[in-house]
Structure 1
Amino acid sequence: MGGDVIKPITYFQDMPIRKKIQIINILIILPSILFLTITLYNMTLNQVMERALRSSDHKLELITNTINTLFNNIENYSKLAIINKPYQSVLNSDGTDPQSLEDIQLMYVGLTSLVESSPYIDSVVIQSIQGNKTYYTNNLTNVTENNLSIYPGDQLITAKGSAVWIETFQSPFLVNAQHINLLAVGRRIINISNGIPLGYIYINMDESKLSKLYGNDEEGLQSKLMIINANGTIISSNDPGLLQTTLDTEKLQMIFSNDNSSQIFDNGKETTIISSKALSKKDWRIVYEVPSKALMKDQWKITLFILGYGALGLLFALVLSIVFSNWITKPIVRLSRAMMAVGNGKLDTRSPITSKDEVGQLAYKFNDMVGEIQGLMDTVNQEEKQKRSLELRLMYSQIKPHFLYNTLETIRSMALMTKAHDISKVVKALGDFYRMSLNKGQELIPVIQEKKHLESYLYIQTIRYSHIDYIIDFDSQIENCRIPNMLLQPLVENSIQHGLREKQTGALCEISGFIETKDGADVVCFVIKDNGKGMNEELLANIWHREQNQLDLSSFGIRNIQERIQLRYGPGYGISISSVIGSGVEVQLRIPLAFDKKGLPERSVKSS
């Protein structure tokens, strides 16, 4: 038994390589062709169905535009007719004077011209408001007041002169000696002189002519084109037997739930493509339905043709591509995944090195480069943290000693001149100021805390400079917003020291805060405005362009705040300054709106 198995294996091993490849290809191709046949058939089927859906949409779009244009033209004809002078004159007179007889003749000429103006206008009827006078084209017979009750006069009254479309009905009167299906548009005729209703005009359209407008389709498709109302009742169709019938509930649900698009409908017996679009008049829709099998009758032939000429080449290429691509690209895929991981911030990722070829050398250099970048990143991030810590310490140190001395001197003077109540207020303000300035080392604080900080500082300053007044107006929506500590006080201090201190009377510092939208995102905007002496353009430019060793304390404070903001939030935020000589300075500061205790995530070298 074992020898019987070994002999074929030995025989196969002894075969030439060419025959081995042929046998292996046959063993692989036979099951693969079946799989490929099914796959290609489904792919081609889906593509044909997609093309059919697009074709249905396009066809229906053209038909919809044509019908909308026709309906608009018919409405325009009716609009012109209701202001026709002979029509107005006849409906407004008793018909006994000679002029009325002449107008009646002109009316009939006008009605004939209206029918001849469009091949889709079948007939026209004009009825007086009392219903006792009726005028119509000569192709109508047996027109009575009772027959005309089929027209909805109450809807025309409600429409107040606008066009009212009337769904398909079988004419109670004779049209060219027979009863036919009509659609109509009606309007109320109003005296153009005094606005009194005079009558109604009805322009009738032959439904069979309308269906010919869109009813032609490719032979053998067995398609259905129809116009339906909101209830699904068919009011026009290329199949006369469908008139006044109602579509299936499932079809209606699909049509109205998928507005203006093509869908595949399968009721278990037949699969059809249904397209629908809304018409511009009333709540009518045009629907196009075609069996999918009519579109797919040549699909199998196409699939066999593709397989017959391409199966062998596709399978051979597939086998070779799988074998050689896996062998060649596996190291590259590993290197690519390592690069993606590094790009996502995982700097501890390394690519395995399995060879010394070009890919192996590239992986070696990549690992070496990532190691150097990781070391540099750690160094830079550490330096950034140290820089931020130093800047915050420097900001805290900007509480100038002379301010403390001046405040203490103020307290001493008040102790000599007044009772202890005012002194207590100043001392409390000073204590609150330093308590909120230090803030237990917290870098982010609520806006309401910064507001209290400003109030303490400005209260002390107004005691010192009695001619200075201030207004703080923050929107209540930003009170719990988180902002960096000591963000606004240096700007207010600059406003007082350089703008208001030397102003004799009427010195005012206004601080406001509110939410505004910038590039589609909400930001917090703070405005510090004074009415001091102001600055010219040269002084404004010097604030940003002075060398580091040339900065005075005010410029340094502004630059420091600008750098703190942009370091934390990015270059899209910060300070802008404007000024007019003699009118003061306005400083605007913008940062992102953040209510979380941690604020927005700090920008680091990795994410930048």
Structure 2
Amino acid sequence: MTGNPGSLVCRRERQEDFPIMKGVPFIFRIRKSLSTKITVMNAGIILLIFISLILTTVSINYQLTLENEKQKMNVYISNTLSSIDNKLKDMGRVSLMTYSDERTQEILKNYDSFAYAEQLDNVEYLRKLYTSLITIREDINSVYIFDLDSLVFWQDNLDPSMRRNMDMSVFLKRMEEWESKERSVSGCRLVVGVQPDFMRYSTRNLEDEYTRHCIYLVREIKSFSPNEPIGHILLITTMENIREVLNEYLDKEVEYTLLTEEGDIVCDEEAEYLGKNIRDASPEIYLRMNEEKGVFRERIRGTDCLVTYQKSQYSGMILVTRRAIALIWKDAMRFIGVTVAVFLVILGITVAMTFQGTRKMLRPLTILTDSMAHFNQDDMGMRFVVASEDETGRLVASFNKMMDIINQLIESEYEGKVRLKEAELKQQRMSLLYLKNQINPHFLYNTLDTIRIKAELNGDKEVSAMIMQMVDFFRLSVKADSQMVSVSHEIRLIQAYLKLMCCRYPFLNCEYEIDESLLDVEMPNFILQPLVENSVMHGLRGVGYRGTVRLSVSRDETDGENIVIRIYDNGAGFSPGTRSLLENVLQNAGDDTCETGTEEMHIGIVNVQRRLKMFYPDTAGLSYQDNPEGGVTVTLIIKSNVEREGLK
């Protein structure tokens, strides 16, 4: 690509035009500063302007949608409250029949004095009267008329029957308490509750919570002359009727709650809240309703919502609506689709033009990026020729330097690990050799075998048996040349050693609990003998070598790959100072500067701990626990499938 003197010139030259470097796949030639050319490109500024315009449009449209939602909810609430108030007014007009109908007044005044046939006739009169009234009014589900002492008449769509053992005076007293409420709705008192408890309903009819919960309108009935109370009329409408009114104008996405003036929930989309108080069910709404009507934003039942509420001046009921902010935002986004589409077309054209120009200028950087994207461990020798002094040239030079440093670090790390592993193996071999050389097994084995034969020829069988045990011990100790031996080999070594100790200390008792299925598993050589020797020589010494040493080998119940080895003694145990020193030794056994004290016991434990951590780095190594009856138990865990490459 060529251009005028003020433009960036980038061309791929032939390999022979530049110094040859091994492994160099691409050559760069940049004649002018890349940063100068990129600065000219204003795609970023145009993109920022487009984004700002879109965000501004979205914000304005969201606010307009929000205001529209508030107005729509206020209209809905006003219409719904008006419809509910009209229903209550209609129910109130039905209750006035007890004043305008002379026979109803007469029935309530003298009901108890009527003969049974007259009572039946009066009830039939009331049934015809109120059946015709509530038939044309589908909102009224029940009508109950009481005199001062009892229930005189009822008409209920649920077809109940009165409980014969019900004390009606309790309900009558409750109605008198309702009469004390200040607000009057159509001359009645409005109460929220459930179906009357003095009636017995079928379970099927009351399974629906919106049928079981209802609104009471209670009116005290007074005679004309003299003007005194003669009874009560109770009208009931179920929450199902109220819910139909609430759902008539409401969108499916809007939730609602209808409250009484006292905060009792009359109706809600979720039946579990019926009959509860708003202070308990949604305190966040209760705390925000400080005026006759209002709008606020609050998190309700786990959703961020726009909440609108309004109070009826007639009934005092409060209708609260909620709509999720996310849904309002979704509505707002629908109106800006065309605007966004236009923006995207313009942005696409601008980006395409900017991309073409920038791609030509950034071709050298693209070549380097492609090479790095397909980089793998076989390309560690990859290097690039630096043919410019601008930003791209400095980047290529930095890449070459980085690759040199990485190669040096890899080589140093590998060499360090090899040296460290060799040092560890050498130290472990020297430690094992040191232990074996302490008893010079080859010389002692030959000498003791000669002594044993001499003793047997002289007839001293006890001495011969003791020497035979010692010969077995040394034979086993020098038999294995590798660092790994079978569990069976280690157990036979321990048995030979403890038989010699039993000859020396007659009151010493030896026990074995061995899982025979584990005898062929391999473990580090000569690792149990130092621990058993500590139990005998240090653990039982304080009790006169009178006690028990027990060796157990079993498979771990929680992890079948682990084998648990325990060495138990019931000797004197550790003193506090020895226990503290031992814990420090076990914790810092891998540190060459670890202090082990002056006792040979600590040196042996350090050696065992180091070898265990080398073979089984994932385990905790040795652990000591005090026995309740005295003495200690040492536990070590080995793996049945440990990797032993390079350790034999």
Q: TM-score, normalised by structure 2?
A: 0.44
Look at both structures and tell me which one has the larger radius of gyration over its CA atoms: 2
Higher relative contact order (CA 8 A, sep 6+): 2
Q: TM-score, normalised by structure 1?
A: 0.46
